[in-house]
Structure 1
Amino acid sequence: MMEDIGQKGFTLIELMVAMAISGMLMAVVAMAYTGQSRSNNTVQDVSSLQQDMRSALQLMAREIRMAGYNPKSAGAKIELATATDLRFTEDIDNDGTIGSGEDIRYAINSNGALGRETGGGGGLQAVAENIDQLAYEYLLDDATWTQTPADLTKIRAVKIMILGHSDRETAGVVDTSTFTPPLQTIVPPAVAPAPPDWTPADPGGYHWRMMSLIVQCRNLQIKS
């Protein structure tokens, strides 16, 4: 006599419930992955931007610091100093003349990038992308700051301020911040003018950062 064995397995309803739960779990995992990936991209973008901005400031500071280096009376000096444009000369090779590579200018070029020009011509060649704003302030020999020095021989230090954005946009990000360079101290103490307030004209989905640096031009204090 055959024994009656009950059928075992899942009903259609149970399978549908299991599939629904699996689908929800997969959606949660996908959302978590997307969020983590977006977060990683943001960290990478901001880190890359900050590194590019630091590199640009270091390059500018290294050359501006030597402005007016004039060991053989070559006439090295600050040639132009405005709120957004700086040109200077330096006799780095000690040959008594200002070569084309010793006449340096920094400003934002026509493509909106931080540009560097040498030789008093040839155009501003980009040295850093995604830097939208550049401003200068100048410390004079009477311990006052200005963006429009009337006598360039009185400049003793330069404050560089730059505003930049990430290389790519992030969905859902709209940065409407106003960026104001921090007040920095320098010896001798001096009160700096109100720094510029920068609000990106078209923030898009970019991440924005601002950096500033004060460079003491020690050679400008030396009489040739």
Structure 2
Amino acid sequence: MKDNQKGFTLVELMIAMAMTGIVVAIIYSAYDLQTKIYTEQDKTADMQQNIRAALVFLQREARMAGYNPTRSNHASCNRPGETDAVSPGIHTATATTLGFSMDLDEDGDCDGTGENVTYSIYTASDGLQKLGRAAPTTNQAIAENITNIDFVYLFKPPLMGSPASDPPTATPATDQLDEIVAAQITVLAQALEEDRSAPTTLTFTAPFPDAWGQLVDGAGTQWGPFSDSRRRRLMTTSVNFRNMGLK
């Protein structure tokens, strides 16, 4: 009786195993690549969401700077180093710090909760740089991994074509604080972790407006170059101080 049963030789099994290994390796490599891409995109999305949330929060509160329904002057609204009673308004205006007061509870002073706030970058106990909101002194983190901030202050614009008596500046004088009507705010955020696919060297330039709000090329603050393989995002917004410059 003739045996017609057939099987695989050792060579055939080895070839099949090798081919299977190659296919699995290709599938795993594609999966690993897609996972890394998704992870990096997720980190970038988190960073962008973080920076947007920070700017929206700051912008919304800063619109109330100088709110003074009772038209009162009070010592609690004063500026650093001064003791005179003044009306609510901007009390600190530098390139990296914005502080303002407002009479939210309409009782004639700036002593209420959240009526005197200051925004700036600070380094927290965990070593992360954050956008902080001090009200009035203890910093509350508004957003993490915000490494740089730039404020440019604008005054009432002159007629188009006329010279600007008070051009935009990041360092207004004390006697200019009551005349500020708007600010351009630029923040730079970085990813928490390194990314091997990130550009090796980056330099960022904050935009700078002229007296009419048009941008001047190359006139803003520069940050970098950075070479730490971290992704970064620059974002700019503006806020109109609707209660300022009404005198």
With over 3 angstroms needed to count, the CA separation of the structure-2 counterparts of 1:182 and 1:85, relative to structure 1, is closer
Residue 70 of structure 1 is aligned with which of 60, 68, 71?
Answer: 68
Structure 1 stretches of 4+ with a deviation exceeding 6 A read none
Map Cα deviations across residues 157-202 of structure 1 (whole Å, 9 max, x no partner).
Answer: 01111111223333443542222345679xx823456122222645
Query: Is 2:176 the partner of 1:161?
Result: no
Find the residue that maps to 2:27 and give its secondary structure.
helix
Query: Is 2:223 the partner of 1:198?
Result: yes
CA contact (8 A) 1:174 1:203 kept: no
- Counterpart-to-counterpart distance in 2, 1:131 and 1:12: 62
Q: Partner letter of residue 221 of structure 2? A: P
Map Cα deviations across residues 96-129 of structure 1 (whole Å, 9 max, x no partner).
Answer: 111252101000113321111012x23x222111
- Counterpart-to-counterpart distance in 2, 1:87 and 1:192: 25
Find the residue that maps to 1:29 and give its secondary structure.
helix
- Counterpart-to-counterpart distance in 2, 1:116 and 1:110: 13
Aligned to 2:169: 146
CA contact (8 A) 2:66 2:243 kept: yes
- Counterpart-to-counterpart distance in 1, 2:225 and 2:156: 34
TM-score (structure 2 length as normaliser): 0.80
What is the percent sequence identity of the aligned residues?
Answer: 38
TM-score (structure 1 length as normaliser): 0.88
With over 3 angstroms needed to count, the CA separation of the structure-2 counterparts of 1:48 and 1:23, relative to structure 1, is same
- Counterpart-to-counterpart distance in 2, 1:39 and 1:191: 37
Moved more, 144-153 or 165-174: 165-174
- Counterpart-to-counterpart distance in 1, 2:68 and 2:50: 31
- Counterpart-to-counterpart distance in 1, 2:45 and 2:37: 12
Query: Is 2:243 the partner of 1:212?
Result: no
Find the residue that maps to 1:178 and give its secondary structure.
strand
CA contact (8 A) 2:122 2:132 kept: yes
With over 3 angstroms needed to count, the CA separation of the structure-2 counterparts of 1:107 and 1:116, relative to structure 1, is same
- Counterpart-to-counterpart distance in 1, 2:9 and 2:198: 47
Moved more, 95-104 or 12-21: 95-104
CA contact (8 A) 1:146 1:192 kept: no
- Structure 2 residue runs of 5 or longer lacking an equivalent are 73-86, 159-166
Deviation at 1:76, TM superposition (A): 0.3
- Counterpart-to-counterpart distance in 1, 2:115 and 2:200: 39
- Counterpart-to-counterpart distance in 2, 1:69 and 1:200: 40
Q: Partner letter of residue 184 of structure 2? A: K
Deviation at 1:70, TM superposition (A): 1.2
The CA RMSD measured in Å over matched residues stands at 2.1
- Counterpart-to-counterpart distance in 1, 2:40 and 2:207: 24
> How many equivalent residue pairs?
216
Aligned to 1:108: 121
Find the residue that maps to 2:194 and give its secondary structure.
coil
Map Cα deviations across residues 63-107 of structure 1 (whole Å, 9 max, x no partner).
Answer: 111111111124101101000011111111111111252101000
- Counterpart-to-counterpart distance in 1, 2:22 and 2:209: 53
Q: Partner letter of residue 118 of structure 1? A: A
